[in-house]
Amino acid sequence: MRPWALLAILLLALLLRLIGLESNPPGFFRDEARKAYSTYSLLKTGKDLTGRDWPLQIKEFNAYTTPIYHWLSLPILGTLGMSVFAARLSAALAGTLACWGVYLLGRDWVSRNAGLWAAALLAVSPWHLLFSRWANQGILMTAFIPLALWLTWRALEGGQSPCWRWAIPSAVFWALSWIAYEPARVFVPALLFTLIFLSLFREGWRSRQALVVFGIGMGTLLLISPFVVAILRDWELARARLETISGQETLTPLLLLKNYLLHWNPLYLLWSGDANPRHHVSGQGQLAPLEGLACLAGVYALWKTKGAWRGMLLAWLLLSPLPGSITQEGLPHSLRTLMIVPAFALLGGIALAEAAKCAPNLPKQVVAAALIAAWGIQACVSLYLFRTVYAEKSAPYWEAGYLEAIRSVEANRKEGEVCAVSGLIEFPEAMVEFVTLPDPTDIQSGKPLGGYRFEKTGTPLNPLAYSDCKLFLIRPGEIRRPPWWKELSPAPENEEMLSAWRLYRSEK
């Protein structure tokens, strides 16, 4: 491939993640809205919504989470303002960076063509593309882990005198990987321990290489120590969250193995995908057909080729399902195992590169052209499914229409009017905060949102309980409407609300 091939792949990856970012996924989920407003609070006051100064654990709803996505979004929201596009932009950029990371690994492990094929597969991977288009911190793992592993590889391949100038940034990226998302707190230590073990038994390497990895691990531990302290300080809430997703059943070795194997179920990977409609593009498995076939061929390539990288890639693949396996909620879980997607891309990319040069009785150019055509067809099919089938089927699970509903309330509200909101939505105040941008210091002090009253979660609206309200936001057909209620039609730009909401004003 020509020198501009990598640039073209990265540009394609970026465009696929940016075009229509504000409208697909089809809705703005409450987690995204709260994450954006928490970032706004940090930007304006230097405190999270609980009033803590630049905390290393940010409370979102009833759980603490890592603040790194918030930090990365600070300059974006500060420059572009509060919008769906701005809230999701960090994820899109991280997804593009991940394509560069797998290119570097494929190039140094096998060949430049292997790196290009790995980047090309990841650029159009439906699994990776989907999570690159909404505000979630899990996507950061797919960017930081490949870069951390590549820097570690460069440090180890330094011959008799390993290059510490690679080891230091490697520790930084391992620390970022660990901080990025809770499942990485299990995966990163496990992978680093495995790398130390591989270094000890790698033919041609000496104990010095194991010492390099150990030093990287110690550097990583030093960098993450403030976050470990923060987690321990909020341990009760962290433990409660872990118990929620771990279920009531005791996690025995047999159950752990069962949960682990669920993530390798061929039907999940190649046919049905994650059961959560937000986490899976319907019409194919978690992996697109070409990805799946390339990964199967990649297993053969692992067996036929040589190099220390094989142990690293195999460890990456085998350890990735481990964090999801210690939970029992929604298994197999594509978000908690998101770190495996770049490894699949590398496995498939190496196989495609080998196929392009080893196909019998065919010119290499013909094989390469056929593979590029197959990749293009896969990309077109995946994009079609994502823009049509996924956009339609997943909309209710993204709470589509609620953002536009709150915007309609604000557009129709008269001075002093209070709006009562149905309880048939969880954490409804998150979207109100995102749209109205109340003073963060009011939220930090526990002051209720002005202009809104919220029905108890899971409970249909009872108009009689809100005699002080003039506006009522409800689900279609939720209650028998009083004759003195007048429906308020949304502006054309907010008509999406009609898919799930109706707004009324009491004229009594």
Instruction: Name the residue type at position 257.
Output: L
Task: Answer whether residue 240 shows pLDDT above 90.
Answer: no
Task: Confirm if 278 and 398 have CB atoms less than 8 A apart.
Answer: yes
Give the model confidence (pLDDT) of 8-23 as tens digits.
999 999 999 999 999 9
Q: What's the average model confidence in pLDDT over 237-250?
A: 67
Backbone angles phi, psi at 124, to 5 degrees: -115, 10
Q: What's the average model confidence in pLDDT over 333-357?
A: 93
**Measured CA distances, 406 to 130, 151, 192, 403, 409 (Å):** 26, 46, 47, 5, 5
**pLDDT for the residue 290:** 92
**Measured CA distances, 504 to 136, 296, 488 (Å):** 34, 56, 6
Residue 497's CB is within 10 A of a number of other CB atoms, namely 23
**pLDDT for the residue 59:** 86
Q: What's the average model confidence in pLDDT over 109-114?
A: 94
**Measured CA distances, 186 to 59, 221, 464, 502 (Å):** 21, 13, 50, 45
Task: Answer whether residue 194 shows pLDDT above 70.
Answer: yes
For tokens 């697109």, name the residue. 288
Residue 482's CB is within 10 A of a number of other CB atoms, namely 13
Give the model confidence (pLDDT) of 400-448 as tens digits.
999 999 999 999 999 999 999 999 999 999 999 999 999 999 999 999 9
Task: Answer whether residue 235 shows pLDDT above 90.
Answer: no
Q: By three-state DSSP, how is residue 332 classified?
A: coil
Residue 384's CB is within 10 A of a number of other CB atoms, namely 12
Tokens of 202: 């790698």
Residue 324's CB is within 10 A of a number of other CB atoms, namely 27
Q: What confidence category does residue 234 fall into, taking pLDDT thresholds of 50, 70 and 90?
A: confident
**pLDDT for the residue 199:** 82
Q: What's the average model confidence in pLDDT over 493-504?
A: 96
Q: What's the average model confidence in pLDDT over 50-74?
A: 92
Give the model confidence (pLDDT) of 444-465 as tens digits.
999 999 999 999 999 999 988 9
**pLDDT for the residue 491:** 96
- Between 72 and 242, name the one with better pLDDT: 72
Tokens of 208: 């010095």
**pLDDT for the residue 244:** 62
Q: Is 477 left (phi over 0), alpha (psi -120 to 50) or beta?
A: left
- pTM (2 decimals)? 0.95
Q: Looking at residue 67, what DSSP letter applies?
A: S
In whole angstroms, what is the distance from residue 400 CA to residue 390 CA?
13
Q: How many H helices and E strands in the chain?
A: 22, 7
Q: What confidence category does residue 241 fall into, taking pLDDT thresholds of 50, 70 and 90?
A: low
Give the model confidence (pLDDT) of 290-318 as tens digits.
999 999 999 988 887 888 899 999 999 99
Give the model confidence (pLDDT) of 125-173 as tens digits.
999 999 999 999 999 999 999 999 999 999 988 655 557 789 999 999 9
Q: What confidence category does residue 203 fall into, taking pLDDT thresholds of 50, 70 and 90?
A: low
**pLDDT for the residue 457:** 94
**pLDDT for the residue 11:** 97
With CA atoms as reference, report the closest residue to 205 among 168, 155, 151, 169.
155
- Between 356 and 35, name the one with better pLDDT: 35
- Between 369 and 130, name the one with better pLDDT: 130
In whole angstroms, what is the distance from residue 73 CA to residue 71 CA?
5
Average pLDDT, the chain: 92
Task: Answer whether residue 287 shows pLDDT above 90.
Answer: yes
What is the distance of C-alpha 35 from the center of its chain? 13
**pLDDT for the residue 339:** 98
Looking at the chain, the whole-number percentage of residues with pLDDT higher than 90 is 78
